[in-house]
């Protein structure tokens, strides 16, 4: 029987990763052999794609040394969060390849998992912040553009999100340890909760499922529902005056945002909640043990993909990024002999909202 997920954010309850009857549930060994062979390679592909994509996004926004506007502040923080997140994936890939025998020592056991856990929440909360900012701009355009200090508010919001993510990762830094598993002949990097009382399982479920998914999802759906309603009203006005809608790309971007968030994260949180039910013995038996063990592993893969898709959804699909790439290209090529005018710069900064 292969061990349960050994990264904190991959399993809601890890104080007892290996049930006492684990040796009686060995009928899924073939599935685990396939996972050990295939999943690490897929994770490395995600790592490379996420590393290149997010690094490219940061380079485009930061190399020109322009003063970042509000959308750029959020996008830079999102790319930085996803970049830090994917840096931990090679460790997890090696861990699976090595049959969950952690080879990197106790310090990296705590640091790698703590950093991944922090940036897991940071990335999700930044998605909410971006939706909230779009909600202000598109639903209340006059108030949001005239309000003083909107840029400062974005900076403060990002700082608070990073602080909150760090606080939520504190248990990982404190409770992670290398634990020998004699039955499996490995030493695993596990989260050792102070006790096996059901209250710890409930706390972990609330942290992952509620704070890490349900509340952010509710906020994203709320903001984007009202954004789409506002865009629909604008389309009706535009059709009345000019005869054709103009917000097709914006609508597609917002729907892609919600759909991708659901597709990437819903499977993981579904299995995480079932894992909670298994820990409190609402679900029992070898079928559920094997189903949850394997299901969590593959659901984690879909959750990881979100860090690769974020640059595409929030940046590459937007007019702002394409315009800035062209400006950067002209700036660093010999043909770029004419400086960008202030009027054109203003258009570049505002075109994020004209997707």
Question: Per-residue DSSP letters for 149-217?
Answer: THHHHHHHHHHHHHHHHHHHTHHHHHHEEEEEETTTTEEEEEE--S---HHHHHHHHIIIIIIIIIHHH
Task: Answer whether residue 347 is part of any domain.
Answer: no
Distance CA 236, CA 243 (A): 9
Task: Answer whether residue 248 is part of any domain.
Answer: yes
Distance CA 205, CA 194 (A): 16
Q: How many CA atoms lie within 13 A of 2 on its CB side?
A: 28
Task: Answer whether residue 328 is part of any domain.
Answer: no
Q: Is the pLDDT of residue 1 over 80?
A: no
Distance CA 88, CA 52 (A): 15
- Number of structural domains, the chain? 1
Q: Are 130 and 311 in contact (CB under 8 A)?
A: no
Over residues 210-237, the mean pLDDT reads 85
Over residues 179-195, the mean pLDDT reads 83
Task: Answer whether residue 331 is part of any domain.
Answer: no
Res 141: pLDDT? 73
Distance CA 94, CA 103 (A): 9
Q: Are 322 and 288 in contact (CB under 8 A)?
A: no
pLDDT tens by residue, 159-168: 999 999 999 9
Distance CA 92, CA 98 (A): 10
Q: Is 317 helix (H, G, I), strand (E, B) or coil?
A: coil
Indicate which CATH number applies to the domain containing 218.
1.20.1070.10
pTM: 0.78
DSSP state of 351: G
Res 5: pLDDT? 40
Q: Is the pLDDT of residue 63 over 80?
A: no
Q: Which helix (DSSP H) or strand (DSSP E) does residue 221 occupy?
A: helix 215-242
Task: Answer whether residue 326 is part of any domain.
Answer: no
Could you list the residue range(s) of the whole structural domain that residue 28 is in? 8-317
Task: Answer whether residue 300 is part of any domain.
Answer: yes
As separate numbers, helices (DSSP H) first and strands (DSSP E) second, the chain gives 13, 2
Q: Are 354 and 141 in contact (CB under 8 A)?
A: no
Distance CA 64, CA 71 (A): 16
Over residues 234-254, the mean pLDDT reads 60
DSSP state of 2: P
DSSP 62-117: HTT-PPP-HHHHHHHHHHHHHHHHHHTHHHHHHHHHTTT---SHHHHHHHHHHHHH
pLDDT tens by residue, 127-186: 899 889 888 888 887 665 555 578 888 999 999 999 999 999 888 888 888 888 887 788
Distance CA 127, CA 1 (A): 37
Q: Is 280 helix (H, G, I), strand (E, B) or coil?
A: coil
Task: Answer whether residue 339 is part of any domain.
Answer: no
Averaging pLDDT over each range in 218-222, 229-233, 244-248, 331-335, which range is the top one?
218-222
- What burial letters (b/e) apply to 220-242, b meaning 16+ CB within 10 Å? beebbebbbebbeebbeeeeeee
Residue 124's closest CA among 203, 252, 218, 194?
218
Task: Answer whether residue 39 is part of any domain.
Answer: yes
Cβ neighbours of 194 (radius 10 Å)? 8
Distance CA 329, CA 315 (A): 17
């Amino acid at each position: 029987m292969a061990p349960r997920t050994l990264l904190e954010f991959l399993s809601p309850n890890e104080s007892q990763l290996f049930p006492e009857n684990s040796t009686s549930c060995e009928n899924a060994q073939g599935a685990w052999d396939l996972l050990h062979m295939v999943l690490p390679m897929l994770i490395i592909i995600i790592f490379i794609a996420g590393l290149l994509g997010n690094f490219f996004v940061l380079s485009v926004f930061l190399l020109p040394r322009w003063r970042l506007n509000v959308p750029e502040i959020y996008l830079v923080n999102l790319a930085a969060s996803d970049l830090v997140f994917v840096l931990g994936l090679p460790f997890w890939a090696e861990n699976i390849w090595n049959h969950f025998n952690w080879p990197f020592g106790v310090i990296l056991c705590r640091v790698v998992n703590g950093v991944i856990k922090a940036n897991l929440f940071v990335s999700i909360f930044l998605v909410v912040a971006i939706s909230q900012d779009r909600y202000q701009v598109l639903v209340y355009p006059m108030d949001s553009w005239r309000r003083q200090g909107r840029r400062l508010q974005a900076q403060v919001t990002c700082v608070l999100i990073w602080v909150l993510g760090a606080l939520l990762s504190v248990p990982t830094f404190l409770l992670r340890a290398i634990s020998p598993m004699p039955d499996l002949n490995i030493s695993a990097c596990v989260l050792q909760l102070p006790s096996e009382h059901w209250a710890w399982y409930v706390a972990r479920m609330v942290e992952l499922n509620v704070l890490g998914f349900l509340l952010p999802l509710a906020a994203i759906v709320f903001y984007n529902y009202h954004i789409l309603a506002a865009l629909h009203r604008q389309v009706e006005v535009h059709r009345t005056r000019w005869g054709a809608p103009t917000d097709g790309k914006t609508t597609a971007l917002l729907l892609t945002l919600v759909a991708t968030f659901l597709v990437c994260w819903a499977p993981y949180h579904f299995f995480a909640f079932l894992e909670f039910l298994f820990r409190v013995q609402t679900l029992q038996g070898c079928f559920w043990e094997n189903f949850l063990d394997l299901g969590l592993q593959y659901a984690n893969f879909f959750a990881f993909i979100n860090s690769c898709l974020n640059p595409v959804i929030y940046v590459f699909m937007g007019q702002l990024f394409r315009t800035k790439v062209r400006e950067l290209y002209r700036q660093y090529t010999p043909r770029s002999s004419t400086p960008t005018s202030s009027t054109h710069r203003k258009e570049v900064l505002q075109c994020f909202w004209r997707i």
